[in-house]
Structure formats: C-alpha cells, structure tokens
C-alpha cells in the first residue's frame, strides 16, 4: 500500500522547516530531550530551570539556544537526535549560530 501523497508532502515540508529553521529545530530538540528521562533531568539540573519555568520560557530565543547548546554538549544525544531527524550534525551547529548568544558573536 502506498502512503498518501498529501501526507508525504506535509511531512516533507515539516522536515524541511526543521532543517532550515533554528527555532523549529530547537523545539524538536525539546521533544527529543523530554522523551528521555535522563536527558530532561540533566537539562533541568544544568539549566537551573524547573519544568514549569521551561514551559513558560520555551518560546524565548535564549531558552531555545540553551536547549541546542545542551544537545551540542552531549555527543551521544546529538548523534541520536541527528539520526532520528535525519540531520547532519553540522546543521545543529548552524542552527545554534543563528540563535541569540551565538559563540560566533564573541569572535
């Protein structure tokens, strides 16, 4: 049975947005981190955010940057995220450069 072409088109558009949009990528990283009990526990510990603070600040660019930073600092999580979302790791770094507090801004 063939998949519905319209569903495939919508899925492709969503994946393209994830690949090009740093905010979309960060939100997908949140879903990835939340889905792993150890990762979310470590993120909350490292960031100092409570689960409630995280929910309240999720749309803030600084929070998105912190999420992407966290992913970049954990090679195993980064590799798994990239495999799950069919992204090369350099796309994560490129997205990070477009978010506030970019390491490139201090160079």
Read off the pLDDT of residues 40-58 as tens digits, 9 standing for 90 and up. 999 999 999 999 998 899 8
3-class DSSP state of 72: helix
Query: Which structural domain range is residue 86 located in?
Result: 5-106
Q: Tabulate helix, strand, coil % of the chain (nearest 5).
A: 80, 0, 20
Instruction: Return the higher-pLDDT residue of 44 and 106.
Output: 44
Looking up tokens 């999720």 gives: 58
Instruction: Return the higher-pLDDT residue of 102 and 71.
Output: 71
Number of structural domains the chain divides into: 1
Q: How many residues does the chain have?
A: 107
Give the global pTM. Answer: 0.74
In this model, does residue 89 exceed pLDDT 60? yes
């Amino acid at each position: 049975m063939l998949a519905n072409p319209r569903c495939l088109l919508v899925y492709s558009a969503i994946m393209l947005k994830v690949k090009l949009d740093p905010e979309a990528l960060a939100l997908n990283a949140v879903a990835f981190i939340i889905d792993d009990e150890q990762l979310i526990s470590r993120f909350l510990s490292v960031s100092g955010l409570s689960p409630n603070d995280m929910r309240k600040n999720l749309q803030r660019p600084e929070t998105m940057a912190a999420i992407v930073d966290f992913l970049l600092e954990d090679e195993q999580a980064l590799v798994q995220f990239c495999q799950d979302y069919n992204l090369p790791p350099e796309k994560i770094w490129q997205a990070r450069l477009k978010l506030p507090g970019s390491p490139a801004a201090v160079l």
